[in-house]
Structure 1
Amino acid sequence: MNLLTQTTQHDLQALIAITGSKSETNRLLLLQALYPNITLENTSNSDDSEVMQKALSGNDEIVDIHHAGTAMRFLTAYFAVNEGREVVLTGSPRMQERPIKVLVEALEQLGAQITYEKEEGYPPIRIKGQKITAHKVSIPANVSSQYISALLLVAPKLENGIELTLVGEITSVPYIKMTLALLNDLDIQTSFIENVITVHPKKEVESKVMTVESDWSSASYFFSLAALARTATISLTSYKETSLQGDSALVEIYKQMGVTSHFDGNKITLTKQNDFVYTDLNLELNNTPDIAQTIVVTCLGLGIGCHLTGLHTLKIKETDRLEALRIELTKLGANISVTNDSLILVATKTINQDVSIATYNDHRMAMAFAPLGLKVPIIIDNAEVVSKSYPDFWTDLKSLGFIVLQRWSFT
């Protein structure tokens, strides 16, 4: 348990170096396993990426990816096409509650051999790697984009590539486009026309150094801090004004919460606007669900309401994030309601202090609530869970003047 006290430093100034995007890193690690002459720089130091790298480089029959959802999806596809290799892919108890059936069925359409070790539709799964020659496959479009990206990432190594039809309304398009852009960077031909994605086969790629952009999801907590501070000038490296990451939408979203963003080379500087007039937010986050927790907590801290939609994928994350938000925000005195794909926060001017926030083994719960330390003393349970995506989070918060007691003692 960590006590995150209200910082005495309400005027925030710092230069923060955030490591590479977990989303980009995990995609590139898989591509590097397929094409070993790729070299990667500025990769994520997150637990998820370390688990992914270990699984790809090892020869174990049982591959345990713990809480790493991205690794579960990507490795399911990777091992399915890894001819002659047989593995059991498993994870934490929570991971064994997260569905995998949609991806398994898509791979089975292509000829993969996958069976369930326990409950049908859920890990652990036994995968017998096959040579895949079929290339036409369909998948529901409103599922996690990681299912879709998993298929696309292994596609160029298949004999005939993939022609993937997305059925229904597409979710998280930026993440699909990120995957395709990384393939294109390796001169792998792709197309995305209406609801059909095609990836052409490519046996070999030219040697290339690929530098991972810093993680925009991790940057979201500093947007929140800038919004909640009295004054703020927070610079973050290394970020691109034209990013592959969907969460770069933060720039436009936080304009509505009084934060301006200025790019200078590979650095972005966040500045709190003085005398900003706040209004309730109405946002559709179908393409950027991972920043929903940060946004709603920021709104609570600012004393404004919000209506966030497009959140159906949050129910199958590390926890049911919508229900977790409802429970924890209610402890803080919020008036919040949730459905299967949305939440409504009613504006309130008071926040209960010294509340213990449960994190549900979810890194984003810990980090999303931490900026409230600018408003009230707050307790973050199981704070070390941040290592899943951002191991340096508490150290970087210290550089902004926060004091974290018990497990860490910062002054």
Structure 2
Amino acid sequence: MKALLKHTRVSKKETFIKVTGSKSESNRLLLLQALYPSIAIKNLSESDDTRVLQKALQVESGLVDVHHAGTAMRFLTAYFATKEGAEITLSGSKRMHERPIKILVDALCSLGASITYLKEEGYPPLQISGKKIIHNQVTLKANVSSQYISALLLIAPSLPHGLTISLEGKITSVPYIKMTLALLDALSIENTFKGNTLTVHPKSNVSQTECVVESDWSSASYFYSFVALGAIPSVTISSYSEKSLQGDAALASIYKELGVKTVFNASETSVTLSASEEKHVTNLIVDLANTPDIAQTIVVTCFGLGIGCTLTGLHTLKIKETDRLSALKNELEKFGAQVSITNDSLQLESCNIKALSEKTKETIVVDTYSDHRMAMAFAPLALQFLVCMNDPMVVTKSFPSFWEDIQKMGVLADFQ
């Protein structure tokens, strides 16, 4: 399937959009709910990844296929390894079998877990025999995906002696680790984070608790991009908190430099994005080590504004749904952008975007690489170019209503 994106007239009525619950929060809470059934969850994410995880947590033994869901692969590896009596084959898509998991498996095995590789060492699929884990000390490098660390933190309170994690080096994606710890706090699970050491104390049960999932800040990034590129004067999205647990809430400060004003409506738990009277920067420089999931949106926004950017801290992007750095370079160059990348950074040169868009008369076909964020990040360029999106329904991985919602931004997806 493909979608031809058409720039349409925007309604002058007030624009309000309800964004699905955070996938990051939802998936963490689902795993905790599997360990402590007294937890109730509201505003759960409608994403494919969350549905896959929710279904997998009901399995006692046999094959579990997580498809493209990287978070589910990491969290379930830890969960099933500590579920006594479980015999699980944990598999996924072709791309999932290319995404490394050795660091997490090594950490779990050092604690006493029984996990074997069914094909290439260091990669899924995995054979997991759940057992009681009695060791409570583990060490791993700090610059790995935060999902490895969060997977260990989430199963830690269910272990007989809890868990102490020692991290070596500079920690990557600290906000996601703090999110996990904040959710443990909400359940009165004692934990500490001092220096490079994380400690979670054991807890046998949790009292009846209702957890409300905040909407996804990563999904909010696409509306920031539409506003920055002049699609609409303002849009209100919900449900968001100024005291968010999500690292991607950094969007508010980053997009201020790109000409978007953010106003939190506390009584309505919503946020209004509007075009700022202040001029945007001419060259954006930002370290996204703590917020790598918004890199694609930011790069495309900068290109659409005709400004340059230098983004660093992107070393985890190469092991996502695709090699996101290479994918960004490949697709932006189709529009005439000049992009250079390293293993952990991306540099975009400024350009005359008006001249490029007027010169480009043919439809530009954007490949999405089975990556939801590639599709959504590039959609706002339909305001300036003729765009055809390959595999547009990949967005259901995190934002099922995306194409319907962006009609309010002036872009209609004609599926073919």
Corresponding residue of 2:24: 23
Matched, 1:153 2:154: yes
- Residue 273 of structure 1: CA displacement? 1.6
Matched, 1:35 2:36: yes
Aligned to 2:10, the other structure's residue is in SS state: coil
Unpaired segments of 5 or more residues in structure 1? Answer: none
Aligned residues of 2:5 and 2:387 also touching (Cα < 8 A): yes
Deviations 1:323-347 (A, max 9, x none): 0001000111000000000000001
Matched, 1:380 2:389: yes
- Residue 179 of structure 1: CA displacement? 0.2
Query: Percent identity at matched positions?
Result: 57
Aligned residues of 1:7 and 1:373 also touching (Cα < 8 A): no
Matched, 1:360 2:369: yes
Matched, 1:297 2:293: no
TM-score by length of 1: 0.97
Deviations 1:187-222 (A, max 9, x none): 000000000000000000111000000000000000
1:254–1:275 Cα change, 3 Å: closer
Q: Which amino acid aligns with 1:100?
A: I
Corresponding residue of 1:397: 406
Deviations 1:202-245 (A, max 9, x none): 00011100000000000000000010016421000100001000
Q: Which moves more between the two structures, 224-233 or 106-115?
A: 224-233
Q: Which amino acid aligns with 1:317?
A: K
Corresponding residue of 2:107: 106
1:370–1:10 Cα change, 3 Å: farther
Which whole-Å CA distance do the structure 2 matches of 1:58 and 1:278 have between them? 51
Deviations 1:106-132 (A, max 9, x none): 001100000000000000000000101
Which whole-Å CA distance do the structure 2 matches of 1:11 and 1:328 have between them? 32
Deviations 1:255-287 (A, max 9, x none): 000000001120100000236243210000000
- Residue 7 of structure 1: CA displacement? 3.1
Aligned residues of 1:306 and 1:346 also touching (Cα < 8 A): yes
The correspondence for 1:331, drawn from 329, 334, 339, is 334
Aligned to 1:399, the other structure's residue is in SS state: helix
Which whole-Å CA distance do the structure 1 matches of 2:278 and 2:146 have between them? 39
Q: Which amino acid aligns with 2:287?
A: E
Q: Which amino acid aligns with 2:391?
A: N
Aligned residues of 2:315 and 2:343 also touching (Cα < 8 A): yes
Which whole-Å CA distance do the structure 2 matches of 1:230 and 1:216 have between them? 19
1:96–1:370 Cα change, 3 Å: same
1:334–1:113 Cα change, 3 Å: same
Which whole-Å CA distance do the structure 2 matches of 1:325 and 1:7 have between them? 26
Q: Which moves more between the two structures, 231-240 or 35-44?
A: 231-240
Which whole-Å CA distance do the structure 2 matches of 1:152 and 1:232 have between them? 42
Matched, 1:312 2:321: no
Aligned residues of 1:51 and 1:65 also touching (Cα < 8 A): yes
Corresponding residue of 1:263: 264
Aligned to 1:251, the other structure's residue is in SS state: helix
Corresponding residue of 2:87: 86
Q: CA RMSD in A?
A: 1.3
Corresponding residue of 1:178: 179
Aligned residues of 1:10 and 1:229 also touching (Cα < 8 A): no
Aligned to 2:71, the other structure's residue is in SS state: helix
- Residue 400 of structure 1: CA displacement? 2.7
- Residue 5 of structure 1: CA displacement? 1.8
Which whole-Å CA distance do the structure 1 matches of 2:394 and 2:219 have between them? 14
Aligned to 2:399, the other structure's residue is in SS state: coil
Which whole-Å CA distance do the structure 2 matches of 1:395 and 1:231 have between them? 16
Aligned residues of 1:22 and 1:389 also touching (Cα < 8 A): yes
Which whole-Å CA distance do the structure 2 matches of 1:386 and 1:46 have between them? 9
Matched, 1:239 2:240: yes
1:107–1:249 Cα change, 3 Å: same
1:176–1:277 Cα change, 3 Å: closer
Aligned to 1:333, the other structure's residue is in SS state: coil
1:38–1:248 Cα change, 3 Å: same
Which whole-Å CA distance do the structure 2 matches of 1:70 and 1:158 have between them? 21
Corresponding residue of 1:249: 250
Corresponding residue of 2:218: 217
Aligned residues of 2:365 and 2:387 also touching (Cα < 8 A): yes
Corresponding residue of 1:74: 75
Which whole-Å CA distance do the structure 1 matches of 2:27 and 2:280 have between them? 40
TM-score by length of 2: 0.96
Deviations 1:336-361 (A, max 9, x none): 00000000000111244521000000
Which whole-Å CA distance do the structure 2 matches of 1:93 and 1:389 have between them? 19
Aligned residues of 2:138 and 2:166 also touching (Cα < 8 A): yes
Aligned residues of 1:260 and 1:272 also touching (Cα < 8 A): yes
Which whole-Å CA distance do the structure 2 matches of 1:201 and 1:90 have between them? 30
Which whole-Å CA distance do the structure 2 matches of 1:139 and 1:368 have between them? 33
Corresponding residue of 1:198: 199
Matched, 1:342 2:345: yes
The correspondence for 1:288, drawn from 287, 291, 294, is 291
Which whole-Å CA distance do the structure 1 matches of 2:280 and 2:384 have between them? 19
